[in-house]
Amino acid sequence: MSDVPRYSPDFQWTPLMACPWCGYEFDAVSQANAEVCAWPEPGDMTVCIACAHCCVFVTPATVRRAVPDEIDEEARQVQQDIRRMHARLS
Ligand SMILES: [Zn+2]
């Protein structure tokens, strides 16, 4: 079994919010390692597709910066995937 995250073809629209690291505005999320994307719950981690920094949902409509201790291996993989995608597109 691979440790590489698999990304859901599904996604959730969210209220418009901004990444607390770079200000990128987003209004949808997808989920790694899930067939169906769940509505974000407080405490769920998300990775900004623009800057690849980790954020944590405070409410389904707000995120804050993640602290290093909160970033798990799955989030690190997602960060690597986003950085790899940016490198291929540049
Ligand atoms: Zn960002």
User: 55 alpha carbon to ligand 1 midpoint, in Å?
Assistant: 9
DSSP state of 81: H
pLDDT at 1: 46
29, with CB counted inside 10 A (0-12, 13-18, 19+), is: buried
Decide which of 10 and 46 is more confident: 46
Backbone CA torsion sign across 52, 78, 85, 49: negative
pTM: 0.85
User: 26 alpha carbon to ligand 1 midpoint, in Å?
Assistant: 9
Across 66-83, average pLDDT = 94
Point out which residues pair with 55 in neighbouring strands.
46, 65
Point out which residues pair with 59 in neighbouring strands.
62
Percent pLDDT > 90 in the chain is 71
Gyration radius (Cα) of the chain, Å: 12
Closest CA to 83 of 52, 58, 56: 52
pLDDT at 52: 97
